[in-house]
Amino acid sequence: MTATPRLAFLASPADEAQRALAEMTARYGDHPPAEADVLVALGGDGFMLQTLHRHAGLAKPVYGMKLGTVGFMMNHQRSEDLIERIHAAEPAMLRPLEMVAQTESGATVGSLAYNEVSLLRQTRQAAHLSIDLNGQTRLDELICDGVLVATPAGSTAYNFSAHGPILPLGANVIALTPIAAFRPRRWRGAVLKADTEVRFRVLDPFKRPVSATADSHEVRDIVEVTIRESRDRTVTLLFDPEHNLEERILAEQFTSG
């Protein structure tokens, strides 16, 4: 990284983020994302995910500042010493999940997920799903509100709320977690090697329709979904040393709040 990295500032539409954007660009200048050395995202975790989906193809590191309601993937916001903070920042490399969903209409839809891919029932009827791992059926029928596959970075989000495990960064595992499972009643999910291909089939898609969502990209009326960790896409987030992502994930396991 150059002595004075070229920065591209990206901000959520929120008033606070827009005020910070004006202050930051006046102080540090601004470059188009394709010409920058570092992308600086101003907002919350939702905006960080939008930034990753929109600009991950540029392969530029992203430094986030919390200006939203949630900031697990962000650093504390302050305008001074930004260049020094970026130079001292610790990188965390994330590898997203690739989702390929097939719908009742015959369409095939692909999407990436940095947090999780979730399948959810669309009506009051419980979903009936089968689960294959690497081409082998492991669960003939899961009756549930839904099920999700989470990355380590996403394991503290929806996955944790659904009583799934928190996963350390760099452990090369993903979480398979049911949401309100009815049958098998005691099935709590599984921790899988990151290169496992997970395939869900909807057993009764007309009576019991199911949607699939990769982060915030929803596909409705699915019949089958295949999920695998991306082999060629990565993104690097930058964190202040005292507040790095690995430490946050660890701290989540020792909090009662």
- Known binding site for NAD(+): residues? 45-46, 115-116, 145, 153, 156-161, 180
Cα–Cα distance measured from residue 115 to residue 155, given in angstroms and rounded to the nearest whole number = 7
Q: Which residues are annotated as a binding site?
A: 45-46, 115-116, 145, 153, 156-161, 180
- Identify whether 45 is a catalytic site residue: yes
Q: What is the DSSP string of the chain?
A: --SS--EEEEE-SSHHHHHHHHHHHHHH----GGG-SEEEEEE-HHHHHHHHHHHGGG---EEEEE-SS--TT-BPP-STTHHHHHHHPEEEEE--EEEEEEETTS-EEEEEESSEEEEEESSSSPEEEEEEETTEEEEEEEEESEEEEE-TTTTTTHHHHTTPPP--TTS-EEEEEEES--BSTT---EEEETT--EEEEESSTTTS-EEEEETTEEE-SEEEEEEEE-SS--EEEEE-GGG-HHHHHHHHTT---
Name which of 40, 198, 44, 43 is nearest 132 in CA terms. 198
Per the residue annotation, which of 45, 132, 195, 240 is the catalytic one?
45
Contact 164, 231 (CB under 8 A): no
Amino acid 34 reads: A
Contact 67, 44 (CB under 8 A): yes
Which residues are known catalytic residues?
45
